Amino acid sequence: MAVEDFKSVHELKMEDLVKKERLSKLAILDTLLAKKEPSESEENVKNMLLAELF
């Protein structure tokens, strides 16, 4: 049963990491969308995140 518990905990942690990564990307995107005059590289990152997340 310990191995099954470990697998469950591992799966939950992996799901948590995926959710945290998405939240982090959304926060970065929010910051970039709020910029009035983003640089070319910021615009590229913004477009990449928009394509990836939506």
How far apart are the C-alpha atoms of 10 and 1, rounded to whole Å?
14
pTM greater than 0.85 (yes/no): no
Name the DSSP class of 36: S
39: left (phi over 0), alpha (psi -120 to 50) or beta: beta
pLDDT for position 1: 67
How far apart are the C-alpha atoms of 14 and 18, rounded to whole Å?
6
Domain ranges in the chain are 2-53
Span 4-41, pLDDT tens digits? 888 899 999 999 999 999 999 999 999 999 999 999 99
